[in-house]
Amino acid sequence: MREDICTIPVSDVFEVNDGCPICRMYDMLQTRAVDYITGAAMMEPDVRVVTNKKGFCGTHLYKMVKEKSGLSLALMLQTHIENLGEDLFGKGDKDGKIAADRLSSCFLCEKINWGMERMIETIYITYENDKDFRGMFDGQPTFCLPHYSLLLSGIKKSRLKKYSSEFRSSLKKITQNQLSELNSDLLHFCSMFDYRNRGGDWGNSKTAIERTLSFRNGYEQEK
Residues in contact with Zn ion by CB under 5 A are: 20, 22-23, 57, 60, 106, 108-109, 144, 147, 218
Nearest CA among 59, 211, 71, 54 for reference residue 141 = 211
Q: Please state the closest distance from residue 51 (CB atom) to Zn ion, in A.
A: 12
Smallest gap, in angstroms, from Cβ of residue 194 to Zn ion?
Answer: 33
Is the Cβ of residue 172 or residue 202 nearer to Zn ion in the bound state? 172
Residue 141 carries which DSSP code?
S
Distance CA 203, CA 189 (A): 9
Q: Compute and round to an integer the Cα radius of gyration of the chain.
A: 22
Which residues neighbour 9 within 8 Å (Cβ) at sequence distance 6 or greater?
none
Contact partners, residue 141, CB within 8 Å, separation at least 6: 17, 18, 19, 174, 178
C-beta closer to Zn ion: residue 20 or 188: 20
Between 150 and 192, name the residue whose CB sits nearer to Zn ion.
Answer: 150
Whole-number minimum distance, CB 109 to Zn ion, in Å?
Answer: 3
The smaller minimum CB distance to Zn ion, of residues 149 and 191, is found at: 149
**Residue 203 CB, nearest distance to Zn ion (Å)?**
25
